[in-house]
Amino acid sequence: MARNLGFLVVALLVLASSCESAIFSPVSDSHRSAALELFSPVDGSFGSLEETYEALKTFAVLGIEKKPDIRTSACASVADILQSTSSALKDLFHALRVNGILRCDLKNEAFRDQTSVVDVHLGDADKIFRSIKALSQSDGRWRLSSNNPESSNDAAGIALETLAGVISLASSEIDHSLIATLKNDIAKLFDGIERYDDGTCYFDEKLVDARGHHGPLSASASVVRGITAFAAVASESLNLPGEKILGLAKFFLGIGIPGSAKDLGSVPLILSLPATVLSVTKKDQLRVRVSTVLGSSAPPLSVKLMQIFISGSKNASIIDQKLKFDPDNSVHVLEKLPPNVNVGNYIFSFEVVFDDPEHKKNYVTGGRTKVPIHFTGIIKIDGAEIAVLDSDLGSIETQKKLELPGENAVALSANHLQKLRLSFQLITPAGQAFKPHQAFLKLRHESGVEHIFVVGNSGKKFEIILDFLGLVEKFYYLSGSYEIQLTIGDSVMENSFLQPLGHIELDLPDAPEKAARPPPQPIDPYTRYGPKAEITHIFRAPEKRPPRELSLAFLGLVLLPFFGFLAGLVHLRANLKIWPKSTVPATFAGLFHLGIAAVLLLYAFFWFKTPDTELIVGRSLGMDILVLSIAKQEDKKLVLCQPTSSFVFVALHIAEGGPIGPNGRPIKESRRTTSSTALPTFLIYVRIRTQKRQEKLNTRKNKRNPKENLRKRKGDKRNQDLEPSTSRKRPRDISKPESEDDVENSRSLSLEENFTFSDTLMALRMMRAQFPHIEKVSVEPFVLQSQLYSSIKDRTQVDRELESLRRDKLLRMFKLSTGQDDHAIMFTEDYLNQIERVVRRMEEKKQNDLTVFEWFKMHVIKSKLDTSISHQELVKVRKHQNQALLY
């Protein structure tokens, strides 16, 4: 097997280096150098003995003389293994094989132990032989085991090799009848050989068994090995058909393997040609070489050219011409080509004749050898011309001569009533007409549509006539320029070409509606997937502006009539001093002029503060509303402008609260616009933060709570948000009665606060005001939370605002005992009043423990804000208080 592998590797390598087709060349130097390259020793040895054996065997088979010098190292390792008593059987096997090739000088002592092992003689060789023979099949193939019914050629090879071994080891002579049947089997095996047309023979392997499929190569090698082994031990000649031996040798050569078919009884001789493509023009000579498979020279013989077949036809011309032997190069040369050989493909039939008839016994030639040979040559192109003909008369309108092959650039024009004619002649070097494999005329439209026509030949002349009238449909009615391209090519034509001839301008009629559209041309994948052209942005060119001086001059010119107008007014002594005396007209007049001034002011704002200005134009109630909101980042001013029927109302509403919503948050954009569109009164609403107003408010706050001012200065926004509520809370925190002034102040403040308060508080106040006052029932007003929910859309907002109000101790919430999840909301103020009222009533009833109310009012209400206060909490508060008292 290992040997087989080595051959396989060589085969693959050789296959890669040179690919021979039908011509079998003997093993050449290229094979040998490849083998030398493959088996190159590292540090003077091949590693394992198995590899060494493969290398040595390959060298021996290929007949390589210049072996790498590995003898000493290999012999040393062989001696080592043979001397050691503990060597594995496999190593011993390889060592002996290597020794068989190298024939090392081993000391006899080293062998002594081993010889006893080797010297085994099979006592009952006949029995073993029979048992192996039992596996053979009637067609010559063998089975691998008695259990396996499938037979194979591979198994036959193995069996033959084994039987050869059995014969060699047999102590007594094997029964002749057995060997005779075995020979018969081998003959049958060769009957089942497969053949190629070129004489190659091989053993095919159809069986696919558990060992994997063995291809023809493996099967053939196995059979050849088996037969070789058998032939070596068998005393009689095998009488194998020489033709088949040669076929096997060719098979191995054809796939690059130099099979050892030489040992099959007779040496096959391989007839090979260094070149099978010969140029007639260059007058190449036909050379034939005859050698053995491994390339060694053949015995004296002569080669005869027997027959010449013209490829593709059955005609054969019989020639009996002997080739002249050139002893220098050891080739046989055909000095003069037969006269009927021309440019083209031929099959030459050679026969090898031995000078000494004795050689016939030892060598196999395989009868006649057929070799395909190609004769090439330069084809002369004559009388090439292209013409446009008139259809009716056939008269030539334009005619151009062409130089082929060569540069041509004809320019023709034709309409659909005319014809195009192209004609030429092809002449071989021998002066005969030549018919190329390909002769095409191609017309290619600008849009990429191509039409290909085959140029036919009539006798010697090649001619094509394109009648455009019949071709308009095929041309898709595409008028315009068509490129003409001529292709003439053949494998034996040395000057094959594909050339543009020029172009023809076709004037075809317009396409009717039902005409077929030209097929879409295949898109070049590069244009589809390749990089696109870089995008360059083209910007609009800036408008041409007039010179500055001109514009300014015209500005002055435009103003001039106005001054003229004023001057005219003065000249006419117009009365400009009319100003109404009475109040109402005077107000309206003032408002009118103020309105105009405001509009102009807006224009001015718009002009000077364009980046900070948003212009919102909306519509409401079918009238235009111009909302100019001049928004600066810090100070937002909201301006609503609406023209009324005859003039513009201008109202400046200056408010500190202004668009700032509850808790000091600015009104959201959406809310502002909706309110503006929903407002039925049309005002120009300008909110300007005036310093004066600010100061007034500040002083008022300062008077009440200087701490808040401090807090405000810190700039804490949250504190600012809570600011109004804390200021409200304060008067109620103080238990002592307030001064009258303060009360008044707080009242006016509460009015103002009404603008700025949260919706929840507003709703609460309104509901409180609506609480029924009944004389006899002494309950302070309270509001249910569910009421609040129903009156304000956003429940989350209600919850949030209630929570903040509760934290501010403005409200108190009570769980109701109605069982529903509802709460009563009471203002802290009212709650305190209620307590007072209860206390008063209890005083009337003369109850003593009233201090608890006072204590509750003083300590619990302030600190405990939840709806329920637990007992533990109350105890804790009490304790703290006691401790505080102690200290």
Partner 1 sequence: MGRSATTKDAQALFHSLRSAPPTATPNNLKIIDLYIVFAAVTAVIQVVYMAIVGSFPFNSFLSGVLSCVGTAVLAVSLRIQVNKENKNLRIYLQSVLLLILFSAIWYFIW
Task: By CB under 8 A, name the binding residues for partner 1.
Answer: 543-546, 550-551, 554, 557-558, 560-562, 564-565, 568-569, 572-574, 624, 643, 645-647
State in angstroms the smallest separation of the CB of 575 from partner 1.
Answer: 9
Tokens representing 733? 């925190």
Nearest Cα to 728, choosing from 759, 696, 751?
751
Question: Which residue is listed with tokens 């100003």?
Answer: 579
Tokens representing 842? 């209890």
State in angstroms the smallest separation of the CB of 560 from partner 1.
Answer: 8
State in angstroms the smallest separation of the CB of 615 from partner 1.
Answer: 15
Residues in the chain: 887
State in angstroms the smallest separation of the CB of 591 from partner 1.
Answer: 14
Nearest Cα to 639, choosing from 656, 621, 623, 615?
615
Tokens representing 47? 């590693």
Could you tell me if 712 and 731 are in contact, meaning their C-beta atoms sit under 8 angstroms apart? no
Could you tell me if 227 and 179 are in contact, meaning their C-beta atoms sit under 8 angstroms apart? no
State in angstroms the smallest separation of the CB of 551 from partner 1.
Answer: 8
Could you tell me if 486 and 479 are in contact, meaning their C-beta atoms sit under 8 angstroms apart? no
Nearer Cβ to partner 1 (544/736) = 544
CA end-to-end distance (rounded Å), the chain: 112
Could you tell me if 506 and 415 are in contact, meaning their C-beta atoms sit under 8 angstroms apart? yes
Tokens representing 762? 């507003």
Tokens representing 500? 């543009």
Tokens representing 747? 């009242």
**DSSP assignments along 849-865, one per residue:** TTHHHHHIIIIIHHH--
**DSSP assignments along 57-87, one per residue:** HHHHHHT--S--S-HHHHHHHHHHHHH-TT-
Nearer Cβ to partner 1 (60/567) = 567
Nearer Cβ to partner 1 (526/539) = 539
H and E: helices and strands count for the chain: 28, 33
Could you tell me if 402 and 518 are in contact, meaning their C-beta atoms sit under 8 angstroms apart? no
Tokens representing 823? 């709460």
Nearer Cβ to partner 1 (17/551) = 551
Nearer Cβ to partner 1 (561/590) = 561
Nearest Cα to 811, choosing from 763, 858, 848?
763
Instruction: Determine how many CB atoms are found less than 10 A away from the CB of residue 692.
Output: 8
Residues in contact with 57: Cβ distance below 8 Å, sequence separation at least 6, in sequence order: 3, 6, 101
Nearer Cβ to partner 1 (196/579) = 579
State in angstroms the smallest separation of the CB of 672 from partner 1.
Answer: 23
Tell me which amino acid residue 239 is: N
Could you tell me if 421 and 394 are in contact, meaning their C-beta atoms sit under 8 angstroms apart? no
Nearer Cβ to partner 1 (43/543) = 543
Nearer Cβ to partner 1 (497/579) = 579
Tell me which amino acid residue 599 is: V
State in angstroms the smallest separation of the CB of 542 from partner 1.
Answer: 10
Q: Is residue 813 left, alpha or beta, with left meaning phi > 0 and alpha meaning psi from -120 to 50? A: beta
CA separation, residue 391 to residues 106, 456, 467, 725 (Å):
99, 20, 8, 109
State in angstroms the smallest separation of the CB of 564 from partner 1.
Answer: 7
Phi, psi angles (nearest 5°) of residue 459: 70, -125
State in angstroms the smallest separation of the CB of 652 from partner 1.
Answer: 21
Nearest Cα to 813, choosing from 869, 758, 770, 766?
869
State in angstroms the smallest separation of the CB of 645 from partner 1.
Answer: 7
State in angstroms the smallest separation of the CB of 585 from partner 1.
Answer: 11
State in angstroms the smallest separation of the CB of 647 from partner 1.
Answer: 8
Nearer Cβ to partner 1 (406/564) = 564
Tokens representing 16? 């890669």
State in angstroms the smallest separation of the CB of 673 from partner 1.
Answer: 20
State in angstroms the smallest separation of the CB of 561 from partner 1.
Answer: 4
State in angstroms the smallest separation of the CB of 546 from partner 1.
Answer: 4
Nearest Cα to 292, choosing from 323, 256, 257, 246?
246
Q: Pairing state of beta strands 267-272 and 363-364?
A: parallel
Nearest Cα to 401, choosing from 417, 412, 413?
412
Chain centroid to Cα 457, Å, comes to 51
Nearer Cβ to partner 1 (430/552) = 552
Nearer Cβ to partner 1 (433/623) = 623
Q: Which residues of 565-577 are buried (b: 16+ CB within 10 A; e: fewer)?
A: eeeeeeeeeeeee
Nearer Cβ to partner 1 (196/565) = 565
Nearer Cβ to partner 1 (538/572) = 572
State in angstroms the smallest separation of the CB of 565 from partner 1.
Answer: 4
Distance (Å, whole) CA 290 – CA 354: 11
Answer positive or negative: Cα dihedral of 477, 480, 484, 485. Answer: negative
Nearer Cβ to partner 1 (215/561) = 561
Which residues does residue 616 pair with via DSSP β-bridges, in sequence order? 627
Nearer Cβ to partner 1 (11/641) = 641
State in angstroms the smallest separation of the CB of 602 from partner 1.
Answer: 13
Distance (Å, whole) CA 158 – CA 205: 14
Distance (Å, whole) CA 95 – CA 179: 31
State in angstroms the smallest separation of the CB of 643 from partner 1.
Answer: 6
Answer positive or negative: Cα dihedral of 686, 688, 690, 693. Answer: positive
Nearer Cβ to partner 1 (557/885) = 557
Could you tell me if 388 and 482 are in contact, meaning their C-beta atoms sit under 8 angstroms apart? no
Nearer Cβ to partner 1 (565/771) = 565
Nearer Cβ to partner 1 (100/556) = 556
